[in-house]
Amino acid sequence: MMLSNIFLKTLWDFKKAAIYWLVGIFLLALYIMFVLSSIELDAFQTIFDSFPKALVQFIGGESGIDLSSISGFLNAQIFTIMAPIMVIAVAVNSGGKSTASEETIKSLDIILSAPISRESFIIQKIFSMTIKTLFIAIVHWLSYFILGIAFAQTIPNEGLVAICFNLFLMGISFGMISIFIGTLSGNASQAVGIGGALALISYLIANIAPLVDSLNNTKYFSLFYYYKGSDPLKTGFHTWHWAPFLAITLIFFILSIYQFRKRNLL
Amino acid sequence: MPEVITVSKLTKKYGNFKAVSNISFNVEKGEIFGLIGPNGAGKSTTMRSMLNFIFPTNGKISVGGFDSVKDYLKIRSIIGYLPGEFTTYDNMTGLQYLTHMMHLRNKPEKVGYAKSLAKKFDLDLNKKAKQLSKGNKQKIGIIQAFCHDPEILILDEPTSGLDPLKQQEFDELILKFKEKGKTIFISSHVLPEVEMLCDKVAIIKNGKIVAENTMAQLKSMAMNRFEIIFKNEVSERKFGKSIGVKNISKSGEKFIFDVEGDVNKFIKKISENKVISFRSMEPDLEEIFLSFYKKNKGKK
């Protein structure tokens, strides 16, 4: 029964959006795969090889752009900008609204007048944010996995799983930060806005830092570096890159519960 | 009767601002207790403290014998609550919302009773909340508070947005719950309704309780109004503060006296004159409320 608890009810709220995301991501993947299987990728690579290195790094990240293969194109385009935007949008939106939105629209009072502790409420909301983010990451993996086979293109499955898993971990990290901001302020738009802005700053740091030698080390402060810095689509899993995501998720999980427990709900 | 709600020296401060200041009162089992006061007086703060949404700065609250901070989950399992600003989820129908709430209260079997209450209130449970008027949304709020048959009801401005007919249905529902021995704590600024329903009333002003008593006692404490027609010409100056007269007005032959406190001296003085007509008017809650508010004007 989808309305039997807060976790399931939050997923029930997501059901329409989930279908739109599923169709949207799949259609985008279909379009990309159709175009890529119809054109000569080497020609693209020749053009990009003539670009200044800094510009190529800014667009494609530290590892630059490899457009000589479909997986290179996916790495440079889909998994550098579009997929992270989608995953972070869902995670930050879900996280920022999880407690703060209920507080803003005043529905939280009634929910918490039932025998449900604040801890249970926020943990259920965190789990639902995690599941939504995982869903978007899995849809990405499935779309490119299925369409790779359908278009007889070589996309290394281990790499695809690895980058989608990193995508999921990065998503829940930003989602948890948004949840924490929501517990601080009780203001949903602030929580979503700050979470999104942090993601944007993180993206810019990861892409700009390698261009300037003196800033190069600042990339380690960006979650985008741990997401794609090891080039997981090509090289597969790098478990040590999971550590910052897990640490941030855990820290903000604890802080969110602590903050939500101790705050006066106005 | 045992005390079901005990508020003891409750203070809630936000920085230097005291939302409620050292308030105490008790509500007995089976009683309907009204907390009245204007917006910002501290009514909602008191109610929200009972449910542990707000933590007291000082003082204690016990509901159903449970401490509001330590045993708040036990309190939540025996109460029905309607907040001052009730909102439901726009994407849910009334039935989906009530089903969800009854599951959260571990009483899914009560959905049937919710449906029968909806019929009583003439509410279509198959409409989504976004299609409902404010009054109809309020009905959902009332139903969710009552339908799991709680021992204690805490209701903040419950009839806000209801039309007069449905207010009457609501009053009947409240009285039915009282008959069952349930305790009801209600905050309202619809004073005639409070007067009709409540056994006991507390008046709150600037976070302080300025009066608390049964309706009958409050009436006796408040200003009494007398309409008198004298046979002879009578000078207003004869009736002063010494006999409790606060205010005199004249309309034609009719004198209207507002008398505070003990009325015996006043009646003695009146009887010195020949009286054609004497009418005592019982103050309603609105007058009592205003009388206490004026009395405490300026006190913060």
Domain that includes residue A204, residue range = 6-262
**Closest Cα of chain B to A116: distance in Å?**
7
**Closest Cα of chain B to A107: distance in Å?**
6
Element (H, E) at B60: strand B58-63
Q: Cβ–Cβ of B83/A5 closer than 8 Å? A: no
**pLDDT at position B300 over 50:** no
Nearest beta carbon to residue B51 from set A4, A113, A266: A113
On whether residue A1 sits in a domain, the answer given is: no
Would you tell me which residues 53-92 of chain A have a C-beta closer than 8 angstroms to some C-beta of chain B?
Answer: none
Q: How far apart are CA B94 and CA B119, in angstroms?
A: 12
On whether residue A125 sits in a domain, the answer given is: yes
CATH assignment of the domain containing B265: 3.30.70
DSSP states along A92-130: HHHHHHHTHHHHHTT-HHHHHHSS--HHHHHHHHHHHHH
Element (H, E) at B203: strand B200-205
On whether residue A161 sits in a domain, the answer given is: yes
**pLDDT at position B61 over 80:** yes
Q: Cβ–Cβ of A112/B76 closer than 8 Å? A: yes
B24 and B125 co-located in one domain: yes
Nearest beta carbon to residue B91 from set A4, A13, A109: A13
End-of-domain residue from the set B216, B242, B262? B216
| pLDDT for res A255 | 98
**pLDDT at position B189 over 70:** yes
B48 and B184 co-located in one domain: yes
Nearest residue on chain A to B55, alpha-carbon basis = A264
B136 and B272 co-located in one domain: no
Select the more confidently predicted residue: A82 or B222. A82
Report the number of distinct structural domains present in chain B.
2
End-of-domain residue from the set B197, B216, B235? B216
Confidence band for B296, pLDDT divided at 50, 70 and 90: low
Instruction: Please check whether residue B90 is in contact with residue B45, taking contact to mean a CB–CB distance below 8 angstroms.
Output: no
End-of-domain residue from the set B216, B237, B259? B216
B174 and B50 co-located in one domain: yes
Q: How far apart are CA B185 and CA B187, in angstroms?
A: 7
On whether residue A228 sits in a domain, the answer given is: yes
Of A258, A103, A182, nearest in space to B48 by CA: A103
Instruction: Please check whether residue B72 is in contact with residue B81, taking contact to mean a CB–CB distance below 8 angstroms.
Output: no
Among A70-84, B90-104, B273-287, the minimum mean pLDDT is found in B273-287
**pLDDT at position B203 over 80:** yes
B37 and B155 co-located in one domain: yes
On whether residue B158 sits in a domain, the answer given is: yes
Per residue in B150-164, pLDDT tens?
A: 999 999 999 888 888
On whether residue B296 sits in a domain, the answer given is: no
- Checking ipTM against 0.95, whether it exceeds it is no
Chain B contact for A154 (CB, 8 A cutoff):
no
Q: How far apart are CA A70 and CA B269, in angstroms?
A: 106
**Closest Cα of chain B to A40: distance in Å?**
48
* Mean pLDDT (chain B, rounded): 90
On whether residue B191 sits in a domain, the answer given is: yes
Report the number of distinct structural domains present in chain A.
1
| pLDDT for res A168 | 98
Nearest beta carbon to residue B103 from set A5, A105, A117: A5
B37 and B135 co-located in one domain: yes
Q: How far apart are CA A132 and CA A252, in angstroms?
A: 18
Nearest beta carbon to residue B55 from set A3, A117, A264: A264
**pLDDT at position B105 over 90:** yes
User: In chain B, pLDDT over 70 holds for what percent of residues?
Assistant: 96
Per residue in B4-57, pLDDT tens?
A: 999 999 999 999 999 999 999 999 999 999 998 888 889 999 999 999 999 999
B80 and B169 co-located in one domain: yes
User: In chain B, pLDDT over 90 holds for what percent of residues?
Assistant: 61
| pLDDT for res B225 | 84
Q: How far is CA B211 from the centre of its chain?
A: 13
Give the pLDDT of chain A (266 residues) as one tens digit per residue.
Answer: 678 999 999 999 999 999 999 999 999 999 999 988 887 767 776 777 777 777 776 666 666 667 677 888 888 889 988 999 999 999 999 999 999 999 988 899 999 999 999 999 999 999 999 999 999 999 999 999 999 999 988 899 999 999 999 999 999 999 999 999 999 989 999 999 999 999 999 999 988 887 888 888 888 999 999 998 888 988 889 988 999 999 999 999 999 999 999 999 87
Per residue in B171-184, pLDDT tens?
A: 999 999 999 999 99
Q: How far apart are CA B229 and CA B276, in angstroms?
A: 5
| pLDDT for res A197 | 97
B203 and B261 co-located in one domain: no
**Closest Cα of chain A to B204: distance in Å?**
20
CATH assignment of the domain containing B12: 3.40.50.300
Chain A contact for B37 (CB, 8 A cutoff):
no
Instruction: Please check whether residue A217 is in contact with residue A206, taking contact to mean a CB–CB distance below 8 angstroms.
Output: no
B207 and B228 co-located in one domain: no
Domain that includes residue B141, residue range = 3-216
Distances (CA, A) of B60 to A52, A111, B185: 70, 23, 17
B104 and B211 co-located in one domain: yes
Chains A–B, number of C-beta pairs less than 8 Å apart:
66
| pLDDT for res A65 | 66
**pLDDT at position B298 over 90:** no
On whether residue B298 sits in a domain, the answer given is: no
Question: How large is the angle between the packed helices A118-150 and A15-38, nearest 10 degrees?
Answer: 30
